[in-house]
Structure 1
Amino acid sequence: MGTWRGLRVAFVLGSLFMVLLIIAYWDDVGRPNLYPFQDPKHKSLPSGWRGPSTTVSPSSSSVVQVQTRASVAGSSNAEIPPEETPEKPAGERQMRKEEGEGDEEREQEARKQRIVDVCSGKEALEFPGRTRAFEQIPFRELDHLIVDDTHQIIYCYVPKVACTNWKRIMVVLSQSLISPSTGKPYTDPQSVPADLVHNSSLHLTFAKFWRHYGSLSRHLMALKLQHYTKFLFVRDPFVRLISAFRNKLGRPNEDFYRQFGSVMLRRYGNASGSVAETAAEAFAAGIKPTFRQFVTYLLDPETERESIFNEHWRQVYRLCHPCQVKYDFIGRLETLETDSEQLLKLLKVDHLLQFPSGPRNRTAASWETDWFAEIPITERRELYKLYKPDFELFGYATPDSVLHH
């Protein structure tokens, strides 16, 4: 009997000890999280690239647990001391500031609600992929979702929407590129070479997760989507198309000429003889793709059968999957400066860097009438149908001046 009583006492004491241990562990961790460290073994990395020193084995059945460094809204690195709270101005100036911040927050909520309404079918608009689950999206279609584990940020970049400067910011935050002049990671986004930030080897994207984490990939993506701050920047879809044409096909660009421009000239140019092999020769001869040929190419069923649109004119809903990814912030190029300032505060990195200033793309909505003047009304309307999901998802007005005049 004495032995049995002793075992009961030991069991009770052991249970109490486990309860206390669980409470202590929970207080220390805050909540359970699984954040894998990035694998540094990238191939074809640009000179100066460096990655974190810890790896996660794809075949491992366990995942490293680390203490959460931020709330769901995102945070800066735990090692960086928090910014001191500035002394608040008094009186009317402070009231105007608070009213402005309130307006910005209400605008963000309206933008996010707009996406929810369109994706839920409330707007009676159907488009490919609207109802599919995130797990059904192929890895190759997740190559625009850049992940920064240090600051718990996910950025979906959209070409022709300030993506060069936002990629620069992601490079600085992730410390993934060494400056040859200092031998240390870049700290000023403006000083990061623009040609380097578009090197895909420099960024960890969801598309690379399978190679890094194997069967854990989908689980890890779901965790990051739940806990990280997710953002993207968008632009009037037709204005973005004009900007893409001007930049990639309206001036000599050998890669884009060979892959797209020469195809447009052969199919729709009615040019006598053979098409020039290089962009330099074509432009020198005055035979170059026109905007009308570009639009015809986009509407050609053969184009869609050949491959998905190039990223510079691919629809944003196909680049960033807003019906599957619940973005915390939707910025617009039309309000780039104010949106960028607001976003850096949301990410809690505004004390580390500023959005790069300087020249920006000046293609404007007021140009649409002139650019579409040579496009038949029927083709304009077909093009609008092609990009209507982007107009509706991100709250851009129907371009009546283009569709009805």
Structure 2
Amino acid sequence: MKPPARMTKARLFRLSVVVGSIFMILLIIVYWDNVGTAHFYLHTTFSRPHRVLPTVLKEGGQGPLSEVDEFLETLLSADLRQNVDLGRKTEQPPVQASSRPVVENLEENVRGYDWSTRDASLILDQEKLQAERRRTLRDFCANSSFSFPTKERLFDDIPNYELNHLIVDDRHGVIYCYVPKVACTNWKRVMIVLSESLMDQGVPYADPLDIPREHVHNTSTHFTFNKFWRRYGKFSRHLMKIKLKKYTKFLFVRDPFVRLISAFRSKFELENEEFYRRFAVPMLKLYSNHTSIPTSVREAFEAGLHVSFSDFIQYLLDPRTEKLAPFNEHWRQVYRLCHPCQIEYDFVGKLETLDEDAAHLLQLLKVDGLLRFPPSYRNRTASSWEEDWFAKIPMAWRQQLYKLYEADFVLFGYPRPENLLKN
């Protein structure tokens, strides 16, 4: 007995819908397999006006993605629309009610903050400044006569573990590469507020300075590129490239030698148990010929035993250091943390102009009405201190150190410190 014509048509309609859906999914997968090679350009074009940056996302967490990209993200993560920060809220550490951070660490000393307002007439011509910084990066990355390790590799060649400094905020379409010792604590706080990735009694933090320092640096608090593989598998690189093309990418840098001095001050002049055990003890044994070394940093400091700046420089120059493990992030070169020749940054801020740069960036992101960047320190490590710090460092060591960090000097427009490198 033949089925009624109406039932046959219904079945054919359902079958065509299923076949059509499967075809669309296969078509999208083929598109994705091609998007990372022939049809996708990693770098954001410099021909577009840089003043037009991604705006604040619409309520509900809809990202600045095309319809196809939105469908792909939905396909890859069924709960994306319910959990806009890609699952981070399920990973966050428990946070107790808190006010501003307790002032115990020198780096958190609120008395060092500059709370004064800024006269708009004193703000630098940021658009020209940013264009110059981007041009410097672009020119030296394209200059075949200027080379440094990893310069020529492609984005796809960067291991996932080297992408752990790229923090993603899908709510506002922002990617921040953090560089330790360059106001990264407060920029991480800003990213937490924007992405709403951390709660205080069920409510997202609204003031960056309310976020306790111990949670700011907890890796589970931030969604970084190196976590994409765990969530998206083989699609992770494709998603990274889409976000790199469409999101606003920024980083902050500072004079490389001054950054080293700042790292030494905070990690070896203050009582830091982790850095004492991991780095200070080996330095004292290798470069100061100490044989009987206290087991704790408190005992060492009470005995007047400290790592010297000279010990630290020898450690950096010692070829055995890199053979054992990559540089710690606090003194690892910026080009190794943020890959500026593989990722074309839209905004390059500098610690030397932090207040102006931060205010301008928040305006460009159209989030200046939501928050303000925490005021900077008055007592930051000053560039003028370099000669004093390097006074006891042999000239040959200084020149070797410059070669080690030369790419950071050149790429980010810092002049060669001739006063330190000439006899």
Smaller-chain TM-score range?
A: 0.7 to 0.9
Asked if residue 221 in structure 1 is aligned to residue 240 in structure 2, the reply is yes
The one-character-per-residue Cα deviations of 1:307-337 (angstroms, maximum 9, x if unpaired) are 1100000000000000001000000000000
Q: Does 1:113 align with 2:113?
A: no
Instruction: Find out whether 1:170 has 2:191 as its counterpart.
Output: yes
Of residues 367, 375, 378, the one that matches 1:349 is 367
Superposed CA offset, 1:171-198 (max 9, x none): 0011111124xx3111111211122110
Q: Does 1:142 align with 2:177?
A: no
Cα separation, 2, equivalents of 1:388 and 1:313: 14
| Aligned positions of 1:4-403 closer than 5 A | 31-35=66-70, 36=73, 37=80, 38-40=85-87, 45-48=92-95, 103-121=125-143, 124-180=145-201, 183-271=202-290, 273-357=291-375, 359=377, 362-403=380-421
Offset, 1:249: 1.0
Query: RCO greater where, 1 or 2, for CA within 8 Å and sep 6 or more?
Result: 2
The CA distance in 2 between the partners of 1:386 and 1:47, in whole Å, is 41
**Distance in 2 of aligned mates of 1:322 and 1:223:** 17
Query: Match for 1:371: what amino acid?
Result: W
1:179 and 1:30 map into 2 onto residues whose CA distance is 30
How far apart are 1:358 and its partner, in Å?
A: 5.2
Deviation at 1:237, TM superposition (A): 0.2
Deviation at 1:30, TM superposition (A): 9.0
| Distance apart, 1:39 and its partner CA | 3.5
1-structure distance, mates of 2:405, 2:370: 37
Deviations 1:9-49 (A, max 9, x none): xxxxxxxxxxxxxxxxxxxx994452533442778631149
Cα distance between partner residues in 1 of 2:135 and 2:375:
30
Task: Tell me the CA shift for residue 116 of structure 1.
Answer: 0.7
Are the equivalent residues in 2 in contact too, given 1:42–1:201 (CA < 8 A)? no
Give distance in 2, aligned partners of 1:171 and 1:242. Answer: 28
Alpha-carbon RMSD across the aligned residues, in angstroms, is 2.0
Give the Cα separation in 2 of the matches to 1:190 and 1:398. Answer: 36
Counterparts of 1:361 and 1:229, CA distance in 2: 31
Q: 1: CA distance between counterparts of 2:204 and 2:273? A: 32
Q: Which amino acid aligns with 2:147?
A: E
Please give the TM-score of this superposition, normalised by the length of structure 1. Answer: 0.77
- Identity of matched residues, %: 55
* Structure 1 residues 392 and 356: alpha-carbon distance in aligned structure 2, compared to 1, 3 A threshold: same
Partners of 2:184 and 2:327 in 1: how far apart?
Answer: 18
Structure 1: unaligned runs, 5 residues or longer? 1-28, 50-95
Gaps of 5+ in 2: 1-63, 74-79, 97-119
**Structure 1 stretches (4+) deviating beyond 4 angstroms?**
41-44
> How has the CA–CA distance of structure 1 residues 39 and 104 changed in structure 2, closer, same or farther, with 3 Å as cutoff?
closer
- Could you say what secondary structure the match of 1:232 adopts? strand
The alignment covers a number of residue pairs equal to 325
Query: In structure 2, what is the Cα distance between the partners aligned to 1:133 and 1:360?
Result: 40
Aligned-residue offset at 1:286: 1.1
Which amino acid is the alignment partner of residue 409 of structure 2? F
Cα distance, 1:275 vs structure 2: 1.5
